[in-house]
Amino acid sequence: LGAEMRTDILYRAHRTRTQTKLSVEYKVRNVSGAFQVSRLKAIPEYSHILLVDDVFTTGATLHSCQKALRMIFPPPIRISVATLACVGM
């Protein structure tokens, strides 16, 4: 992609339970507020952010990350997602 990868913008603010056997409702509650934006010296100027996650089931984790990112990256900055979903294995 030729894009800069940043791992210092989001961090997990508190530990969460493993989500593998949780209901959809509990997954949402489990990760609500779990991610926060780091205290950055300067806010980068991006027009598009790509969130990458290893597994997608309900989208609860990515939604929590997106909510945190929106605190410093409001629209019209775009936030896209790249992830993997395996069905029927």
Of the candidates 2, 78, 85, 71, the one whose C-alpha atom is nearest the C-alpha of residue 36 is 71
Computed on alpha carbons and rounded to an integer, the radius of gyration of the chain in Å comes to: 14
Residue 24 and residue 73: Cα distance in Å, rounded? 27
The whole domain housing 49 covers 10-82
State the total domains in the chain: 1
14-57 pLDDT, tens digit each: 988 888 888 889 888 989 999 999 998 888 899 999 999 988 88
- The pTM of this model reads 0.81
For residue 3, tell me if it sits in a domain. Answer: no
For residue 5, tell me if it sits in a domain. Answer: no
Exposure string of 53-73, with b = 16+ CB inside 10 Å and e = fewer, is: eeeeebbbbbbbbbebbeeeb
pLDDT value at residue 89: 61
For residue 1, tell me if it sits in a domain. Answer: no
